């Protein structure tokens, strides 16, 4: 074969090498390597190297080998003792092109941009209850430095503010505290827009938006600020709805003859009904997860305490159901009324409402129906009663 034909074949083989590196995956490359070694090893004839009627032909073939490619090509079948040398520059160009292609593929894997951080968890950054601002930094920022900058303006906010950092190694968001020592390239700030004190004020929201913007600039980050008027409108609408369903039901037990209840007896009956005295001066009924169902307090101004109950003479007691914070309001209401009836019977008392009207069975049934109606309205407006969202908004 003439030298020029050999060069053409080598150039074709080099092009095939580069195409194979970029197009096929690692498994396919290994298969080609095994096939190439089988073909060119031992001088066995191969139909890929022979044309019809015994005429020999050379097809471009792709090989990926670990050793350096030397000038020339392997001997064809029947030509093991003959070697045709080719100019040195052609195979070297092919080898360098293949190496460059492999290096480029490795570099693409190493320097591939990381996957974007997912949305922060709703427990800290709620898409209805909060204004959440995502900040992306060109480089990681230390949590102590970030905390020091935000402290200059965040301390004056009255609504809850949560700072979150995305831990790329763990693949999760973390709630940042003054003691956090990590570094983060993705940070989120979430300001609660409403609670039982009302919606966020215009001035407070402006401080938050401006503070996050300046913090982002300070550390070379980027943040997208939503229109302030839209946030205020959302906060006011959210507060308006919450105010309409913010109901706390009270069932009182008073002594029928106008007497009083002995504190030690009250404590025994409350504990027998599954309630426990807590630091706020009330007995609480809780579910298996620790969520409050209802509470029992003194009808008078004095709170319950372990020591004072020994000498306390209460004029009455109050069972309280916080409707938005109870997951299953009607069921909790039934349990509360049952406990109130048991204590009233044991103490010689009567069930009355806040105006001291005796609670009849039809009145109790009507109250229960109202609890269910309120909670259905909450669920229909994406604030399920007793959910983390509801617990935050009704706090």
Complete DSSP assignment for 263-276:
HHHHHHHHHHTT-E
Cβ-proximal residues to 223 (8 Å cutoff; 6+ apart), any chain: 133, 134, 135, 136, 212, 213, 216
Complete DSSP assignment for 117-146:
PPPPPTTTS-TTTEEEEEEEEEEEEEHHHH
pLDDT interval class at 48 (50, 70, 90): very low
Annotated domain spans of the chain: 3-110, 130-243, 246-393
Residue 257, pLDDT score: 77
Report pTM.
0.69
Residues making up the chain, counted from first to last: 395
Complete DSSP assignment for 218-253:
HTTEEE-PPPHHHHHHHHHHHHHHHHHH--EEEEEE
Give 222-280 pLDDT, tens digit per residue: 999 999 999 999 999 999 999 999 999 999 999 887 788 999 999 999 999 999 999 99
Q: Is 278 left (phi over 0), alpha (psi -120 to 50) or beta?
A: beta
Cβ-proximal residues to 133 (8 Å cutoff; 6+ apart), any chain: 188, 189, 190, 209, 212, 223, 224, 225
Measured distance CA(378)–CA(53) in Å, rounded: 86
- Domains 130-243 and 246-393 belong to one CATH topology: yes
Tell how many helices (H) and how many strands (E) occur in the chain: 10, 15
pLDDT interval class at 96 (50, 70, 90): low
Cβ-proximal residues to 321 (8 Å cutoff; 6+ apart), any chain: 248, 249, 250, 251, 293, 294, 329, 332, 333, 336, 371
Q: DSSP 3-state assignment of 291?
A: coil
Both tokens assigned to 133: 């601002």
The DSSP letter of residue 24 is S
pLDDT interval class at 204 (50, 70, 90): very high
Residue 13, pLDDT score: 56
| CATH number 3.30.2010.10 given to 130-243 | no
Q: Architecture of 246-393 per CATH?
A: 2-Layer Sandwich (3.30)
Of residues 216 and 86, the one with the higher pLDDT is 216
């Amino acid at each position: 074969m003439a030298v020029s034909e050999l060069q053409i074949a080598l150039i074709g083989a080099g092009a095939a090498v580069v195409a194979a590196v970029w197009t096929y995956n690692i498994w396919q490359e290994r298969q080609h390597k095994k096939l190439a070694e089988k073909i060119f090893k031992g001088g066995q004839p191969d139909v890929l190297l022979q044309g019809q009627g015994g005429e020999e032909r050379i097809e471009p073939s792709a090989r990926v080998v670990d050793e350096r490619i030397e000038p020339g090509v392997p001997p064809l079948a029947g030509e093991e003792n003959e070697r045709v040398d080719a100019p040195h520059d052609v195979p070297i160009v092919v080898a360098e092109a293949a190496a460059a292609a492999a290096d480029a593929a490795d570099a693409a894997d190493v320097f591939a941009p990381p996957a974007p951080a997912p949305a922060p968890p709703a427990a800290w950054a709620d898409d209805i209850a909060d204004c959440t601002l995502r900040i992306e930094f060109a480089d990681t920022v230390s949590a102590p430095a970030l905390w020091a900058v935000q402290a200059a303006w965040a301390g004056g906010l009255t609504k809850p503010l949560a700072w979150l950092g995305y831990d790329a190694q763990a693949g999760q968001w973390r709630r940042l505290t003054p003691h956090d020592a990590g570094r983060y390239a993705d940070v989120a700030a979430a300001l609660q827009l409403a609670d039982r004190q009302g919606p966020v004020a215009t001035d407070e929201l402006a401080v938050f938006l401006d503070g996050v913007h300046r913090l982002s600039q300070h550390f070379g980050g980027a943040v997208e600020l939503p229109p302030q008027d839209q946030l205020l409108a959302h906060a006011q609408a959210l507060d308006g709805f919450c105010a309409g369903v913010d109901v706390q039901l009270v069932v009182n037990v008073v002594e029928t003859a106008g007497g009083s209840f002995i504190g030690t007896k009250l404590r025994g009956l409350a504990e027998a009904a599954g309630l426990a005295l807590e630091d706020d001066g009330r007995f609480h009924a809780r579910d298996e997860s620790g969520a409050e169902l209802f509470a029992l307090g003194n009808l008078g101004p004095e709170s319950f305490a372990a020591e004072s109950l020994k000498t306390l003479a209460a004029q009455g007691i109050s069972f309280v159901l916080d409707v938005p914070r109870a997951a299953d309001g009607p069921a909790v209401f039934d349990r509360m009324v049952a406990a109130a009836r048991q204590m009233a019977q044991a103490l010689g008392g009567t069930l009355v409402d806040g105006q001291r009207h005796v609670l009849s069975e039809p009145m109790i049934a009507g109250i229960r129906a109202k609890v269910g109606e309120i909670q259905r309205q909450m669920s229909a407006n994406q604030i399920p009663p007793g959910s983390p969202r509801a617990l935050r908004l009704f706090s």
